[in-house]
Amino acid sequence: MWYQHLLIVIYLTILCCLAVYGFHRTILVWLYFRHKRNRPQPKWRFAEEELPKVTVQLPLFNEMYVAERLIDAVVRLDYPRDRLEVQVLDDSTDETQGICRKKVQQLKRQGYQIHYIHRDDRTGFKAGALENGLRHATGQFALVFDADFMPNPGMLREMIHFFSDEKVGMVQARWGHVNRDYSRLTEVEAIMLDGHFVIEHTARHRSGRFFNFNGTAGMWRVETISDAGGWQHDTLTEDMDLSYRAQLKGWDFVYLYDTVSPAELPVEMNSFKSQQFRWAKGSIQVALKLLPTILRSKVPLRVKTEAFFHLTNNFAYPLLLLLSIFLLPNLLVRTHHGIREVLLLDLPLFLGTTMSVISFYIVAQREVTPKGWKNRLKYLPLMLSVGIGLCVNQTRAVLEALMGKETEFVRTPKHGVSARGENWTAKKYRAVKSLVPFFEIFMGLYFAVTIVVAFRGGHFLSMPFLLLFLVGYLYVGSLSVHQRR
Cα separation, 151 vs 183, in Å, equals 23
Cα separation, 198 vs 363, in Å, equals 9
Note if 239 is an active site residue. yes
DSSP per residue, 303-323: HHHHHHHHHHGGGHHHHHHHH
Neighbours of 196 (CB within 10 A): 14
- Of 90, 91, 148, 194, the active-site residue reads 91
DSSP per residue, 411-473: PPP-----STT---TTSS--PPP-SHHHHHHHHHHHHHHHHHHHHHTT-GGGHHHHHHHHHHH
Closest listed residue to residue 322, CA positions, set 443, 474, 438: 443
Closest listed residue to residue 170, CA positions, set 260, 84, 255: 255
SS3 readout for 208-220: CCCCCCCCCCEEE
Note if 258 is an active site residue. no
287 with 432: CB under 8 angstroms?
no
Cα separation, 26 vs 358, in Å, equals 10
Closest listed residue to residue 177, CA positions, set 107, 283, 266, 250: 266
169 with 224: CB under 8 angstroms?
yes
- Of 90, 146, 148, 239, the active-site residue reads 239
Per the DSSP assignment, residues forming a β-bridge with 256 are 173
Cα separation, 440 vs 373, in Å, equals 31
Residues annotated as part of the active site: 91, 239
